[in-house]
Structure 1
Amino acid sequence: MIEVFKTNVNCADKAKQLVEQIHETFECYRANFDLNDCDRILRIVSSSSVVAADLIKWLKKFDCHAEILNA
């Protein structure tokens, strides 16, 4: 399953740190950012379902805003 989020992350260093933390916290998630996109995309790939509400809540701990990006 793939879930795509619009974020307010605009720094490559912060994005890298968040990806590392996501991989540690949500072991079945593979994350990456596309900061060149106007929505500063966070993509989560998982072999199981992505619980968007949990990830959004977790990101708030790092002062990050995320919302599901609808196609």
Structure 2
Amino acid sequence: MIFVFKTNVDNISKVKKVTPKLNKLFPNSNWNFDLEDCDCILRFESDNNSMKEIIFLMKILGFECEAL
């Protein structure tokens, strides 16, 4: 499944903050941020439906995250 989220992760420093958590909690997934997009898109590819967990994790880390 591919999920697309609008976030406020707008620079590499913020990406580095979430990277270890995303990699640890979702080790078999592929993800990336599009920092050039006005919505700071997070694209997330996973074998299961982990949308709620991704949103929850991002909010715990202090970031906005909304499914598109």
For normalisation by structure 2, the TM-score amounts to 0.86
* Number of equivalent positions: 68
Distance 2:11 2:3 in 1: 21
Structure 2: gaps spanning 5 or more residues: none
Correspondence for 1:8:
8
List 4+ stretches of structure 1 deviating above 3 A.
none
Percent identical among aligned pairs is 38
How much is the aligned-residue C-alpha RMSD, in angstroms?
A: 1.3
Distance 1:50 1:19 in 2: 19
For normalisation by structure 1, the TM-score amounts to 0.83
Structure 1: gaps spanning 5 or more residues: none
